[in-house]
Structure 1
Amino acid sequence: MANIQVQNPHDKFFKETFNNPQVTKDFVTYYLPPSIVKQIDVNTIEPQKDSFINKELEEVFSDLLFKVDINHEWGYLYLLFEHKSYQSRNIAVQLLEYMLRIWNRQSLRKKADKLPIILPLVIYHGKQTWHMGQSLGDVIKGFDTFTADMTRYVPDFDYLLFDVSTYQDAEIKGVAQLKILFTIWRDLYTKNPADLKTSIYQAAEALNALEEKASGLTYFETLLRYVFSTSEAFTKNDFNDIVKTLEQAYPKGSDVMKTIADVLREEGIEQGMEQGIEQGIAQGKQQGIAESLLMMLDDKVGHIPEDMQKSIYQLDEQTLKSILTNYDQINTLKDLSRYL
């Protein structure tokens, strides 16, 4: 991995993309069910500054809140982005917690008789296709065996899931930035370096065609930093190939992509890249062990709390191998906690 250090690159790429109002409008228009879209006035969408993610989960989740007219009443779209390859079994509970925070904040700000509607949306891109349920009831023990008389007293709701890893090219729609975001997310885990480079070149071509060259330049810089910060497969040679291709692929007079190559060099991104590659290989191997271990433990001891998941991802390779060696002796969360 060509290790370009970017603080929380997933969050930056996600939020910089959705900072474009047309991206949000197109996301709602093209990806939400038509029966829902017709009840939403996309021209009233207003981004809110609030974030409701717990501090300890900011490395694996990002969120955005939008105020919008839903069925002629003010409501909210709450967009949660899971940027880890290991799926969260408890995501419906997290959504409920965040929605309660939104409602509580609204109750403090405005003394209204009724609460606004909140439509929960989850975007996921990981190495595995999403296989968890999509409702709160799916994580409540025995919920599917409850009678109708019982379930009327038990909280439950569905959330809209967008598993980007499953999208085909024809299914990725919207303005250039939205299509690029979803394509890169999909290809980051599901394609080899050569195919991912092709997606980057296609993104460069699309952004170069925009009338707003400056915004296209800025966004493409963010894209490149994101890919080189998160891809486990890219090397220094891949970086050099991309820069060389960008310099040669565009005719004289189209300076946008050449400028990007100059900026990357001037900021010293190539410096220390060999060390970054070694570090990236180690990080990629460590992450792979952590993900395998989490899946094994999830089957054996049940759901692993988010704080423990995060701790496992932060363990070094030697400690992870120690846990695997002693796997047969780990039967409870308490047993697991001894290694964290």
Structure 2
Amino acid sequence: MADYARHDIMFKEAFGDPVLASALLEEVLPDSLLTRIVPDSLTPKKDTFITEDRGNPRTLIIPILIAQDRRRWSRSTTLMADFFSHYSQSLRDDCEPFTPNFRYLLYDIQEQDAADMIRHTLLKITIELMALVFEEDEAKLEARMTELLTMSEIGEISDSYAEQVLRLLEYIMRGNRHFDEAMFESIRQNVTTEDHEGSEMIMNFAEQLEQRGIKKGLEQGMEKGMEKGQHQRDLAFFLKLTRRGESKEAIVDLLDLDDASFEALQAEVNENGDIR
């Protein structure tokens, strides 16, 4: 699976949840806009906000950029400020009346000060773990993950959302080469040797790694098990996206599939009777 697809899937899986999306909007939107919406009434829209009939009333759209990169966002928050920067200023000034332009709201996942201010426990853990997938400092990665998994607030997470945290841990293991078996064992020891809130969660993750055969850095001979684990995860993603109503084009793009792979997954799901 391509790296960009992995990040897209994790983002859609996390923030496709209305509760988490609402918590994120409360962090991103200015008060002047927050007072005009009811966060609890939000519902996710699949694929696109553009309607075929182009009917009225037209939808008011507030663009939000969630930046997830190795470095902090350093570009402008105005659409056209960077698009045509290679042209002379005089040419840009002459063309300005004829080019669309707008500002967008920015939330930079790598901005640690912003993450420290998050009040919503699940959002805080989600944002910080998504940032750590790019962390190259091994000591910092291990220390921060241990800190997140031992924070007292983690006990507030319901069982249904605990599974999402486990998915985020798997996401980091697949996306960060430093988060290998040795580091995981070290984190597990730190979390489970004392009575921390995250002990049960990290033990569940250890069990999942054993079951799915996805530990990184294992000896040769485990490749077949890892391929099987990858297939099971792709199958689970496929089922989740299908139930969500995603189009074939979206699923193919997100899972980085060709037509034959899509049809094979569809046949396997239908054969198992999981799609009703």
Q: TM-score, normalised by structure 2?
A: 0.64
Q: CA–CA distance in 1 between the matches of 2:90 and 2:170?
A: 48
In the alignment of these two chains, the number of paired residues is 217
Q: Does 1:11 align with 2:13?
A: no
Report the CA distance shift for 1:178/1:34 in structure 2 as closer, same or farther (over 3 A).
same
Partner of 1:40: 37
- Is 1:233 matched with 2:178? yes
Which residue of 125, 136, 161 corresponds with 1:215? Answer: 161
Name the counterpart of 1:199: 144
Higher strand share: 1
The 1:143–1:153 alpha-carbon spacing in structure 2 relative to 1, beyond 3 Å, is farther
Deviations along 1:288-311, one digit per CA (max 9) or x if unpaired, are: xxxxxxxxxxxxxxxxxxxxxxxx
d(CA) in 2 for partners of 1:157 and 1:225?
A: 37
Q: Is the CA contact 2:115–2:124 (under 8 Å) kept in the aligned structure 1?
A: no
Counterpart position of 1:162: 107
Distance 1:144 1:35, change over 3 A: farther
Q: Give the match for residue 74 of structure 2.
A: 131
- The amino acid of 1:222's aligned partner reads R
Confirm or deny: 8 A CA contact 1:123 1:163 kept in the other structure.
yes
Name 1:121's counterpart in structure 2. Answer: 64
* Inter-CA distance 147–242: structure 2 relative to 1 (3 Å threshold): closer
1:135–1:159 contact (8 Å) kept in structure 2: yes
Q: 1:140 aligns with which of 59, 81, 84?
A: 84
Alpha-carbon distance in structure 2 between the residues aligned to 1:130 and 1:6:
20
Q: How does 1:1-340 map to 2 (within 5 A)?
A: 8-51=5-48, 102-103=49-50, 106=51, 108-109=52-53, 111-112=55-56, 114-138=57-81, 139-140=83-84, 142=87, 145=90, 151-168=96-113, 171-190=116-135, 192-206=137-151, 208-210=154-156, 212-216=158-162, 218-250=163-195, 255-270=200-215, 273-274=218-219
Q: Is the 8 A contact 1:236 1:274 kept in 2?
A: no
Seen in structure 2, the aligned counterparts of structure 1 residues 6 and 228 have a Cα distance that, compared at 3 Å, is farther
Tell me how far 1:210 sits from its aligned partner: 2.4
Query: Using a 3 Å threshold, how does the CA distance of structure 1 residues 143 and 24 change in structure 2: closer, same or farther?
Result: farther
- Give the CA deviation at 1:47: 0.8
1:6-65 Cα shifts (integer Å, max 9, x gaps) = 9943233322321332211121112222233233332321111225xxxxxxxxxxxxxx
1:115 and 1:148, CA in 2 relative to 1: closer, same or farther beyond 3 A?
farther
Q: What is the RMSD computed on CA atoms of the aligned residues?
A: 3.5
Opposite residue 139 of structure 2, the aligned amino acid is A
Q: Distance in 2 between matches of 1:267 and 1:205?
A: 25
Measured in 2, the distance between the counterparts of 1:212 and 1:234 equals: 26
Question: How many Å apart are 1:179 and its aligned residue?
Answer: 0.5
